[in-house]
Amino acid sequence: MKKLVSLAVLTALLAACAETTQTTGEYGSDGFGEETLVAENLNDAYLLAPAPRYYIGNAYKVEDVQYIPTEDFTYNQTGMAGIIPTELNGTKTSNGETYNMNQMVATSKTLPLPTIVKVTNLENGEDVIVRVNNRGPFVNTRVMDLSPAAAQKIGLTNQSKIQIQVLPEQSIAVKNATIGVTPEVKEPVAEEPVAVQPEPKPAPVAAPTGDYSVQVAAFYAEDSANALLSRMRNYGDAVVVKEGDMFKVRIVNLDATSARRVIDTLRSNEGMAPGLLKNGRWINADSI
């Protein structure tokens, strides 16, 4: 018989961030083959936004069942999924985020928080990309619970069999954004100057302008966005755009050729997973 847990207990567990060896409840503590996936249509900026902390945790037990959290970018698992109760809306998750039932988010017993995964409803083939930002559900019959918004997107109304696939590129990007790590850039080695005849300087070329914008990152804190802004100006006309409660760093006024070059450079030099907009509408970053 499924153990019923009061809302008060669930809320307290969500707020608990300390690592323990034994816990109870369905949420809030410390889940086959390999396939490299690339996410498309990551239109929701919060999916790749930095979290208050990057949380893996130690091995722990719930009702004599042991769970071992680990960082696994090849994670690919099937099992049953349910829906996170709407009563938990606004409570704190295990990594310090605020649970928003209208966002594409989910729980996991072992994945790092946050991790970006693709969830497919194996009963109808519908899929959704979600941000795993909480521990649970601590019910052995389920491997994951989805927010009501994510569940609705894949037609999950009660419980369904799903497939969970970690998106490595996006998961690494959100991890780096959270812990503040940027890829090491080696300083160029100075070479002895060589005397050459000066060549005529070409006429200055106007900076390209166009319909494309490359979104680099999105933050809840304006200071974080401004800190990244100065570095992004090396790649073009970088600005901070406020939409809702998010501050989004974008490189704007790009034509198709410049946008392609900026996306490729950010991927190789910064380890980022930038998004692409055309005339303010999201499009596939690899469509140009």
- Say if residues 102 and 126 touch (Cβ distance below 8 Å): no
Q: What pLDDT does residue 89 have?
A: 95
Instruction: Return the closest-CA partner of residue 48 out of 197, 176, 136.
Output: 176
pLDDT exceeds cutoff 80 at 205:
no
Highest-pLDDT range among 18-32, 51-65, 91-105: 91-105
pLDDT tens for each residue of 130-144: 999 999 998 878 999
Q: What pLDDT does residue 41 have?
A: 57
pTM exceeds 0.75, yes or no = no
pLDDT exceeds cutoff 50 at 2:
no
Q: Which amino acid is at 257?
A: T
201 dihedral zone (left: phi>0; alpha: psi -120 to 50; beta): beta
Distance CA 159, CA 150 (A): 13
Identify the band that residue 28 occupies on the pLDDT scale cut at 50, 70 and 90. Answer: low
pLDDT exceeds cutoff 90 at 175:
yes
Residue whose token pair is 């401004």: 226
Q: What pLDDT does residue 153 have?
A: 95
Residue whose token pair is 């396939």: 35
Instruction: Return the closest-CA partner of residue 16 out of 165, 138, 147.
Output: 138
Domains of the chain, each with CATH number or no CATH:
32-178 (2.40.40.10), 212-283 (3.30.70.1070)
